[in-house]
Amino acid sequence: MIGFYVLIGIISLVSMLVSNRLKSKFKKYSEISLRNGMSGAEIAEKMLADNGIYDVKVISTPGRLTDHYNPKDKTVNLSEAVYNQRNAAAAAVAAHEVGHAVQHATAYDWLTMRSKLVPVVSISSRFSQWLVIGGLVMGAASGGAGIGFYIAVAGLIMMSLATLFSFVTLPVEYDASNRALAWLKNKNMVTQQEFEGSKDALKWAARTYLVAAIGSLAMLLYWGLQVLGSRD
């Protein structure tokens, strides 16, 4: 189990470093005011209109970095700061979330796949690790054979679905950022300085998903080795 705690520690440390870097980037680019004077909400509404999307609402949601697009009720949810502020960071986040709305409207394949995985992963992610650990304990008690092994394998299958979800999320997030940056640049919504700030902020936001995906894969491989090794 020492290896497990070491792995958890490394993943947590990298995740914390990336998260802190992301926060510092957004703080930095929140100080670059937009020349056009538009708020995050106004940026989002214009990008929706420019893409011919009129059935999506832009609303404010409490918290910090709580921005997201909800395909169920077709809402672009912007955190209070992003919704109201008029800076490069707010423009980047608002355009990124609208990027997801554009993906939804155009039936982007990776977003469709991720949406189908959501209900399955929301259940499997709660129980996968417990099944693996429980199966290993039962297997150890019975000499590495019997139902314990199959319970652990069932947990691994559930865990693999969560890992798949985290990797499917990557093209969804990167594509949304690319759509956002292309629109900001092509429509002359930002100056070159503002564009570079928006680009850098979204780059670090994407890295949080990359770290999460790598961490999920590392956990899957670790437990996979434990389960398969228990039969030797």
Answer whether 172's CB lies under 8 Å from 114's CB: yes
Q: Cβ-count burial of 227 within 10 angstroms (0-12 exposed, 13-18 middle, 19+ buried)?
A: buried
Identify the DSSP state of 72. T
Residues 6+ apart with CB under 8 A from 133: 155
Answer whether 140's CB lies under 8 Å from 230's CB: yes
66: tokens are 């709580």
Is 97 catalytic? The answer is: yes
CA distance 194 to 210: 25
Catalytic residue among 42, 97, 173, 194: 97
What amino acid positions are annotated as catalytic residues? 97
